[in-house]
């Protein structure tokens, strides 16, 4: 697999925190907290944040409701942008992930029934590849392996957070008592309450932590659902990712490991339900019509899954002693493969803000510190979320006014290289403020010795 260039040297890396340490604030160990930080939700975003805090000296607990074996087994696959792979390189986990993911060198974008195709190539970014496709299992498994080597991170699972109580200097996080099955599984050692300096909500789109904190959101449900499936094509995918816009919704084909492809087929709810229930041979026949013949005969591998498409943006990402990351802060249409990538960038940005605050002796839960993260990420996410919504609305319709305009737009994208490069950089998360997770040299000089904390990873024994 070609190695991508490291971009950290060409992106600005320093967060402009200009806060001064609060005089009344004392570092955590003297205040009787169990941990500095509780990350509620051990999905990929929560695990990325914990891993990105590896050198922070902060004591972190990740609290995940599902047993490890269930959390890892989620049958999803994601387009991973270059910005995300660079964040994982900076953390030090990419070398373990890279051999298990597939890369794509080209993206072909087209409007159905129109022969014109916009082709994004490596030359547009001056990189050997344009991105990767990773299975959920691979990302989460490797992050968990990495976290086992971080002696300041504890991982509690299965452990569901049921309430959070915010105080002036810290937060109490209540964990549900184990079910009888979990008790039999040996999870009785889990604490019922943990006291922390701040909480991060990484608990997904229906975030209970966000709702309990009363943080408002804006958003809507789309008229579409996304059917996802894995197929084995007869011919090799040639490392090309396709996004084809049909009036019913976008249709994406992503190359994944072991010469397979992942399809994300968006259609109005009833059509998508019907596709899910179709006998396999009829489904494959329809898929073949949509796919075309370029990859020969198609074989379905495994199950088909359906996800309703939603758009949601939280009006605030932070409150005193609370920050939201990933789907807890925003959810978008899968077109363009943005959702998880935005969450990975949230995690990297928040890690950097917290790390710098910690090294400067600031209170990490202070709203002034947390606002640095909100200012960094909320506007950038809003632009990406907005783009997914516009793309879906402009392309998922047959309105005679819109059709020629969008086709002309695609032609401009193909003809005007700077426009194509700008679009690709934006979609790949390479424009705007970028976050390597490390500290700037001036910050690293202020780094105190890490706390000497005994490693304590509490897994259920089914994982």
Binding site for ligand FAD (CB under 6 A): 40-46, 63-66, 71, 76, 78-79, 160-161, 202-204, 208, 226, 228, 264, 307, 326-327, 334, 337-341, 343
Nearest distance from C-beta of residue 49 to ligand FAD, angstroms = 9
Nearest distance from C-beta of residue 403 to ligand FAD, angstroms = 26
Nearest distance from C-beta of residue 161 to ligand FAD, angstroms = 4
What does the block give as tokens for 283? 């489904």
Q: Give the nearer residue to ligand FAD in terms of CB position, either 154 or 443.
A: 154
Spatial separation of the C-alpha atoms in residues 69 and 458, rounded to whole Å: 14
Name residue 165's beta-bridge partners: 172
Q: Give the nearer residue to ligand FAD in terms of CB position, either 338 or 352.
A: 338
Contact 170, 31 (CB under 8 A): yes
The CA–CA distances, whole Å, from 144 to 60, 79, 133, 341 equal: 14, 20, 19, 18
Spatial separation of the C-alpha atoms in residues 405 and 374, rounded to whole Å: 35
Q: Give the nearer residue to ligand FAD in terms of CB position, either 314 or 341.
A: 341
SS3 call for 463: coil
Q: Give the nearer residue to ligand FAD in terms of CB position, either 132 or 359.
A: 132
Nearest distance from C-beta of residue 309 to ligand FAD, angstroms = 7
Contact 283, 275 (CB under 8 A): yes
Q: Give the nearer residue to ligand FAD in terms of CB position, either 262 or 420.
A: 262
Q: Give the nearer residue to ligand FAD in terms of CB position, either 73 or 117.
A: 73
What does the block give as tokens for 100? 């298990």
Nearest distance from C-beta of residue 114 to ligand FAD, angstroms = 24
Nearest distance from C-beta of residue 64 to ligand FAD, angstroms = 5
Nearest distance from C-beta of residue 428 to ligand FAD, angstroms = 11
Nearest distance from C-beta of residue 117 to ligand FAD, angstroms = 20
Spatial separation of the C-alpha atoms in residues 179 and 175, rounded to whole Å: 12
Q: Give the nearer residue to ligand FAD in terms of CB position, either 43 or 436.
A: 43
Written as one string, the DSSP assignment of 108-159 is EEEETT---EEEE-HHHHTSS-SEEEEEHHHHHHHHHHHHHT-TTEEEE-S-
> CB atoms < 10 A from the CB of 183, how many?
11
Please state at what angle helix 367-395 crosses helix 402-415, rounded to 10 degrees: 110
The distance between the two most distant Cα atoms of the chain, rounded to a whole number of Å, is 70
SS3 call for 369: helix
Q: Give the nearer residue to ligand FAD in terms of CB position, either 346 or 443.
A: 346
């Amino acid at each position: 697999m070609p190695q991508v260039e490291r971009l950290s040297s060409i992106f600005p890396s320093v967060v402009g925190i200009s806060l001064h340490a609060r005089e009344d604030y004392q570092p955590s160990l003297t205040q009787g907290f169990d941990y500095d930080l509780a990350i509620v939700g051990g999905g990929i975003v929560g695990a990325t944040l914990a891993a990105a805090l590896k050198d922070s000296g902060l004591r972190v607990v990740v609290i995940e409701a599902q047993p490890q074996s269930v959390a890892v087994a989620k049958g999803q696959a994601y387009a991973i942008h270059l910005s995300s792979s660079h964040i994982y390189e900076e953390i030090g986990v990419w070398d373990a992930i890279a051999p298990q993911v597939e890369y794509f060198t080209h993206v072909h974008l087209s409007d159905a029934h129109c022969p014109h195709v916009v082709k994004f190539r490596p030359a547009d970014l001056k990189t050997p590849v344009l991105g990767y496709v990773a299975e959920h299992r691979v990302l989460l498994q490797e992050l968990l392996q990495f976290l086992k080597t971080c002696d300041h991170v504890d991982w509690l699972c299965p452990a569901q957070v049921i309430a959070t109580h915010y105080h002036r200097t810290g937060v109490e996080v209540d964990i549900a008592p184990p079910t009888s099955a979990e008790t039999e599984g040996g999870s009785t050692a889990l604490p019922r309450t943990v006291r922390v300096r701040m909480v991060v909500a990484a608990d997904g789109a229906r975030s209970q932590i966000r709702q309990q904190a009363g943080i408002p959101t804006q958003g809507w449900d789309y008229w579409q659902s996304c059917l996802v499936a894995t197929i084995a094509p007869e011919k090799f995918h040639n490392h090309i990712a396709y996004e084809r816009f049909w009036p019913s919704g976008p249709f994406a084909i992503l190359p994944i490991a072991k010469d397979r492809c992942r399809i994300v087929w968006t259609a109005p709810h009833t059509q998508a339900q019907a596709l899910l229930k179709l006998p396999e041979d009829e489904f494959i026949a329809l898929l073949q019509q949509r796919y075309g013949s370029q990859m020969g005969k198609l074989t379905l591998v495994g199950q088909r899954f359906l996800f309703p498409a939603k758009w949601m943006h939280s009006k605030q990402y932070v409150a005193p002693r609370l920050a939201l990351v990933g789907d807890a802060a925003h959810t978008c249409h899968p077109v363009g493969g943005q959702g998880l990538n935005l969450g990975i960038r949230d995690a990297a940005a928040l890690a950097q803000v917290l790390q710098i605050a910690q090294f400067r002796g600031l209170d990490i839960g202070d709203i002034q510190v947390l606002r640095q993260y909100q200012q960094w990420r909320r506007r950038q996410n809003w632009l990406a979320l907005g783009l997914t919504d516009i793309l879906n609305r402009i392309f998922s319709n047959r309105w005679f006014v819109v059709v020629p305009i969008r086709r002309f737009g695609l032609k401009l994208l193909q003809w005007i290289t700077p426009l194509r490069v700008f679009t690709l950089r934006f979609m790949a998360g390479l424009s705007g403020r970028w976050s390597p997770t490390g500290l700037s040299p001036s910050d690293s000089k202020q780094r105190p010795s890490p706390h000497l904390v005994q490693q304590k990873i509490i897994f259920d024994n089914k994982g």
